Structure 1
Amino acid sequence: MSEQYEYVPHRLLRHRVRDLVSGTEGELMAVINENVSDTGIERWMELAYIRAASGREFTTPAVNVQPA
């Protein structure tokens, strides 16, 4: 099995962004290509890690991120 994750460069890193699905805004901390499978078959997805004003981070698919 390959690595569980890999950091991906993103033009909005360390910028204020909005999650299109939830509408929550925060600072984009990282985009990571992660194996999100819970079975033996690999399934990779680019996840954005966003730090909200509360200080808590949440994830969303990177395609859901836009500048705030």
Structure 2
Amino acid sequence: MSEQYEYVPHRLLRRRVRDIASGTEGELMAVINENVSDSVLRDHWVELAYIRGSSGREFTTVVTNVEPA
């Protein structure tokens, strides 16, 4: 199995964004291409956006769900 994650540049990093799936807003802290595979035989990579909400707690969503707030 290869590395478990890699950081991805994104034009909205450190900006206010909205997760269109939940409607929650926050600051985009990172976009990470993460290996979420549960098998050693094949990799399954997903680009996840890490967003810090107003409570200070971070949550993740698929990066395609992120839009400027």
TM score, norm. by length of structure 2 = 0.95
Partner of 1:30: 30
1:43 aligns with 2:44: yes
CA distance in 2, matches of 1:6, 1:38: 18
CA distance in 2, matches of 1:39, 1:22: 29
Partner of 1:59: 60
Partner of 1:3: 3
User: What SS does structure 1 have at the residue aligned with 2:61?
Assistant: strand
Total equivalences in the alignment = 68
Alpha-carbon offset, residue 27 of structure 1: 0.1
Structure 1 gap ranges (5+): none
User: What SS does structure 2 have at the residue aligned with 1:63?
Assistant: helix
Structure 2 gap ranges (5+): none
Give, as a single letter, the amino acid of the residue that structure 2 aligns with 1:62. V
Give, as a single letter, the amino acid of the residue that structure 2 aligns with 1:16. R
CA distance in 2, matches of 1:27, 1:60: 13
TM score, norm. by length of structure 1 = 0.96
- Runs of 4+ with >2 A deviation: none
